[in-house]
Amino acid sequence: MFPQRLDSPLAYDIAKAMRDGFDRHYRLFRAESARAKHRFETADWHGQQRAQRERIEFYDLRVGEAVARLEKEFKAGEQPMEVWHQVKLHFIGLLVDHHQPELAETFFNSVTTKILHRAYFQNDFIFVRPAISTEYIEQQGAPTYRAYYPTPETLPGVIQSLLLDYRLQGRGYANLERDAGRVATAILSRFHQVKLRANFQLQVLSGLFYRNKGAYVVGKIINGFTELPLALPILHDADNRFYIDAVLFGEEDLQMLFSFARAYFMVEMEVPSAYVQFLRSLMPRKPRAEIYNALGLAKQGKTLFYRDFLAHLNYSSDKFRSAPGIKGMVMLVFDLPSFPYVFKLIRDYYPPQKDTTREQIKSKYMLVKQHDRVGRMADTLEYSNVGFPLDRFEPELIEEIKRFAPSQLEIGDRDGNGEMEVVLKHCYIERRMIPLNIYLQEAFDLLDQPEHAHRASKQLEHAVVEYGNAIKDMVAANIFPGDMLWKNFGVTRGGKVVFYDYDEIEYLTDCNFRKVPAPRTEEEEMSGEVWYAVGPKDVFPETFGPFLLGNAAVREAFMAHHADLLDAAFWQSHKERIQAGQMLDVFPYDEAQRFKHVGHEPYF
């Protein structure tokens, strides 16, 4: 019910305290993101990763502080409905000229739902959809992007200015002229058969995107009606001078850079919605939720994801079902065929070989969230008490949840609107992929059909090579996947192989990689059992083969490219490298795209 009067000073004070709470959050978030520049300039790679990890916690800390303040100063939880109606309206008023109104609304929802009791948890009090528009928000003197208007002749010079406009301090570019020339050559070779139009221009976001050991210029080239997305990775050479490593062009390359399987960027932004709008023009198929996530604004990502999900439910009629593939021993996984995500519940009981607990599993998922995911570990969104319409579930799936995760399930009319809901106490949501075992099986099936055999053998080889590359990228980032069976990996739309089963994941540096000892007696040799003592963190890489390489074609491809994964020395040497403090680059683009491999010299 819309209040007739806005006359409660208390409601105003509560709204104001909420906005102050949000402003404090964004100030700290932004300051931490801004410090990424200095860490990049000074090659503080460990600091960069630590900050990426720690920034994830900021939101919950600030929500907790705001809740405590509202309870202490205003006894907010005891205020009647009339006051809360007015709080929301005052809050809207306070956001009129705000530069992050969508984030502030989400913050309001987080704080409000923590304070109001479940019976009160009504959509009237929170922002079910945005109240304030994010269109055309501008800050004087701090434009979201910069535009440059070169001709083919001035392009190298313009690119030099474009790079210098980021005002990176430190040891400077090793050879700015060379790099600008290479970038200009790459751009002109993309446009050499087309007429350059009067509006030919480069637009680049005014903040650099920092992650791990890289900083990225992100923008687009416009010519006539064509727009070509562009990104330039800036790295350090051995003398800590900067250089441009490659030019990434087009939506696919940008999607790789912004993949859900990578750590979040640090970007200093006054108006995040304007960044999202610009990035969306580069990757129109990427949901806004994922773009907010990639920018480190995970709570906004979650909010938008849930809104998209509810909208999708309204415009679809299929049913939630158990996900295709081999069932998990610790996770119960389901999906909605028309929706490209899976939902994962932790089971209440695990078979004896899974010596774990709900808390341990959650901590492994948290480890992955905070770690550099190197393009090989899917990000997860974590939800509590999430509701789904009961009539959209296959009855078998409800039975499965009742049987294997009863503690997580509640069925009832939570909103009192006459519609029965399935409420799941805790679940993870992640991008759906094709499980690698299914992908391989499809290839095996086709191998027997002469007209498809060639394509199938290529598919198979690609999958096996990518699988090994995925493991090696994780190794580079100090991750031992634990359970390396095919079924624990998925194939993305872009053909990348990504890991998604985290319950046995360990830091590589915590594992003990060993060779199987030589048998001392004939009985030991013949026993067929593990006769040697095995510590809890011992790993015997040479024993992986029998589980993975039963199929001859798979074995051949694997041994040709990744035989080193079966050798304890390979793992041990990486462990020692990491222990010595070295951090490897895992580039979000193909090795072949790097300038050092691109043969042609610049035109200039």
Ligand X SMILES: Nc1ncnc2c1ncn2[C@@H]1O[C@H](COP(=O)(O)OP(=O)(O)OP(=O)(O)O)[C@@H](O)[C@H]1O
CB 74 within 8 A of CB 26: no
φ and ψ at residue 428, rounded to 5 degrees: -105, 145
DSSP H or E stretch at residue 234: strand 226-236
Binding segment for ligand X (CB under 6 A), chosen from 162-170, 410-418, 424-432, 445-453, is 424-432
Angle, vertex CA 474, rays to CA 505 and CA 494, nearest 5: 110
Binding mask 486-515 for ligand X (x = CB under 6 A): -xx-x---------xx-x------------
Q: Is 156 in the site for ligand X (CB under 6 A)?
A: no
List 55, 99, 299, 432, residue binding ligand X (CB under 6 A): 432
Q: Is 296 in the site for ligand X (CB under 6 A)?
A: no
Q: Is 483 in the site for ligand X (CB under 6 A)?
A: yes
Binding segment for ligand X (CB under 6 A), chosen from 404-412, 431-439, 443-451, 581-589, is 431-439
In the complex, minimum distance from the CB of residue 60 to ligand X, in angstroms, rounded to a whole number:
25
Find residue 205's DSSP bridge partners. 145
CB 369 within 8 A of CB 386: no
CB 126 within 8 A of CB 112: yes
327 is in an annotated binding site: yes
List 244, 433, 470, 476, residue binding ligand X (CB under 6 A): 433
Q: Is 331 in the site for ligand X (CB under 6 A)?
A: yes
**Site residue total, ligand X (CB under 6 A):** 22
What is the DSSP annotation of 242-253? EEE---EEHHHH
Radius of gyration over every alpha carbon of the chain, rounded to an integer in angstroms = 27
List 219, 296, 328, 588, residue binding ligand X (CB under 6 A): 328
Assigned token pair, 71: 């309870």
326 is in an annotated binding site: yes
Q: Is 381 in the site for ligand X (CB under 6 A)?
A: no
CB 228 within 8 A of CB 247: no
Q: Is 329 in the site for ligand X (CB under 6 A)?
A: yes
Is 379 among the catalytic positions?
yes
In the complex, minimum distance from the CB of residue 340 to ligand X, in angstroms, rounded to a whole number:
9
Any residues with CB less than 8 A from the CB of 327 and at least 6 apart, and which?
Answer: 333
Q: Which of 179, 245, 372, 379 is catalytic?
A: 379
List 326, 526, 560, 569, residue binding ligand X (CB under 6 A): 326
329 is in an annotated binding site: yes
Assigned token pair, 290: 């994922």
Residue with smaller CB distance to ligand X, 430 or 473: 430
Q: Alpha carbon of 90 to those of 4, 115, 127, 217: distances in Å? A: 13, 18, 13, 39
List 330, 386, 422, 539, residue binding ligand X (CB under 6 A): 330
- Alpha-carbon span 188 to 325, nearest angstrom: 47
Binding segment for ligand X (CB under 6 A), chosen from 29-37, 92-100, 322-330, 384-392, is 322-330
In the complex, minimum distance from the CB of residue 334 to ligand X, in angstroms, rounded to a whole number:
9
In the complex, minimum distance from the CB of residue 292 to ligand X, in angstroms, rounded to a whole number:
20
Tokens 């300039």, residue located: 41
325 is in an annotated binding site: yes
With CA atoms as reference, report the closest residue to 487 among 435, 539, 537: 435
221 is in an annotated binding site: no
Q: How far is CA 224 from its chain centroid? A: 34
With CA atoms as reference, report the closest residue to 221 among 191, 201, 249, 193: 201
- Alpha-carbon span 463 to 548, nearest angstrom: 13
In the complex, minimum distance from the CB of residue 401 to ligand X, in angstroms, rounded to a whole number:
14
Binding segment for ligand X (CB under 6 A), chosen from 63-71, 204-212, 217-225, 480-488, is 480-488
Q: Is 400 in the site for ligand X (CB under 6 A)?
A: no
Assigned token pair, 475: 């190794």
Residue with smaller CB distance to ligand X, 158 or 374: 374
In the complex, minimum distance from the CB of residue 482 to ligand X, in angstroms, rounded to a whole number:
9
List 105, 430, 461, 466, residue binding ligand X (CB under 6 A): 430
Residue with smaller CB distance to ligand X, 104 or 436: 436
Any residues with CB less than 8 A from the CB of 376 and at least 6 apart, and which?
Answer: 261, 470, 473, 474, 496, 497, 498, 499
In the three-class reduction of DSSP (H, G, I as helix; E, B as strand; rest coil), residue 79 is classed as coil
Residue with smaller CB distance to ligand X, 342 or 476: 342
- Alpha-carbon span 94 to 77, nearest angstrom: 21
Q: Which residues of the shown chain bind ligand X in the complex (CB under 6 A)?
A: 323, 325-326, 328-331, 333, 342, 378, 430-433, 435, 483, 487-488, 490, 500-501, 503
Known catalytic residues? 379
Binding site members for ATP: 323-329, 344
